[in-house]
């Protein structure tokens, strides 16, 4: 069973979650609470927290900033955002930080319970796979250099990840989904891929999408907006920005150069 923390500055929301969710049935041993980012960090440092249930907008820091802090400190915590915000920029940031899911207020407690149970089940699967693939903990594996020595296994991971990205180019690709599809622990998958390729999975996804976009721009007369959709971007302006950053020109300028 796992420990969870609810981070929300609205006491009624915290109380409602505490009272309306059968936590033990969901696989949660203990539920901590915090009103803001600093209080949450203090609790996380003192207690072993595996699950974060967090509002987006709070005093003294956003929920995405808290999750970013967890990722920077390499804390393996699964996150569900509970919020009334549904702006695209916030959702995109949550996805980039590998948030497991995103649920809107007012909370449907049956839906939330189902979501939480699914996440806990996946966490258990990842841990079981992690133990099978890596005897001991991840720190021991890195210290021993076992990952570097197991080059053939890592190359297979690289091939599998790249194939998944090619096959799901137009989808909303989330690392947790790749890990689930390939039956690997997400942290192990990210580290193994970077060790072999020198880049993160997210960096590869961007590069693969830009290369696919170049081929489509070169071989068709489809509008730029349609090209963006085909390679996984629902926001054409953002696609253009990313393309320009990677290629040095906008998609339209790229076509003119041809």
Q: What is the pLDDT of residue 143?
A: 37
Q: What is the pLDDT of residue 52?
A: 95
Q: What is the pLDDT of residue 146?
A: 38
| Torsion sign over Cα 73, 192, 209, 125 | negative
Q: What is the pLDDT of residue 181?
A: 87
For the chain, what is the HEC assignment?
CEEEEEECCCHHHHHHHHHHCCHHHHCEEEEEEECCHHHHHHHHHHCCCCEEEECCEECCEEHHHHHHHHHHCCCCCEEEEEECCCCHHHHHHHHHCCCCEEEECCCCHHHHHHHHHHHHHHHHHHHHHHHHHCCCCHHHHHHHCHHHHCHHHHHHHHHHHHHHHHHCCCCCCCHHHHHHHHCCCHHHHHHHHHHHHCCCHHHHHHHHHHHHHHHHHHHCCCCHHHHHHHCCCCCHHHHHHHHHHHHCCCHHHHHHHC
Q: What is the pLDDT of residue 131?
A: 64
What's the pTM value of the predicted model, to 2 decimals?
0.53
Q: What is the pLDDT of residue 155?
A: 46
Q: What is the pLDDT of residue 84?
A: 77
Q: What is the pLDDT of residue 186?
A: 82
Average pLDDT per run of 10 along the chain, which is 258 residues long? Answer: 93 92 93 93 91 86 87 88 71 76 84 89 79 48 38 64 89 86 83 87 92 90 91 91 92 90
Distance CA(196)–CA(69), nearest Å, equals: 26
Distance CA(28)–CA(22), nearest Å, equals: 9
């Amino acid at each position: 069973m796992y420990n969870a923390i609810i981070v929300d500055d609205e006491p009624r929301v915290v109380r409602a979650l505490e009272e309306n969710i059968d936590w033990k049935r969901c696989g949660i041993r203990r539920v901590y609470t915090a009103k803001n980012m600093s209080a949450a960090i203090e609790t996380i440092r003192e207690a072993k927290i595996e699950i974060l249930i967090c509002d987006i907008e709070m005093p003294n820091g956003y929920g995405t900033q808290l999750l970013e802090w967890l990722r920077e400190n390499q804390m393996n915590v699964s996150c569900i955002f509970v919020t009334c915000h549904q702006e695209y920029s916030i959702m995109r940031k949550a996805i980039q930080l590998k948030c497991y899911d995103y649920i809107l207020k007012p909370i449907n407690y049956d839906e939330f319970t189902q979501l939480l149970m699914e996440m806990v089940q996946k966490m258990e699967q990842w841990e079981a796979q992690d133990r099978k693939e890596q005897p001991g903990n991840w720190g021991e594996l890195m210290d021993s250099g076992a990952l570097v020595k197991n080059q053939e296994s890592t190359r297979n991971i690289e091939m599998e990840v790249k194939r998944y990205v090619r096959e799901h180019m137009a989808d909303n690709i989330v690392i947790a989904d790749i890990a689930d599809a390939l039956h690997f622990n997400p942290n192990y998958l990210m580290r193994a891929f970077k060790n072999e390729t020198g880049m993160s999975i997210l960096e590869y996804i961007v590069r693969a999408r830009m290369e696919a976009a170049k081929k489509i721009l070169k071989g068709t007369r489809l509008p730029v907006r349609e090209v963006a959709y085909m390679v996984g971007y629902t926001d054409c302006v953002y696609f253009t920005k990313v393309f320009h950053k990677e290629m040095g020109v906008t998609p339209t300028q790229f076509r003119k150069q041809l």
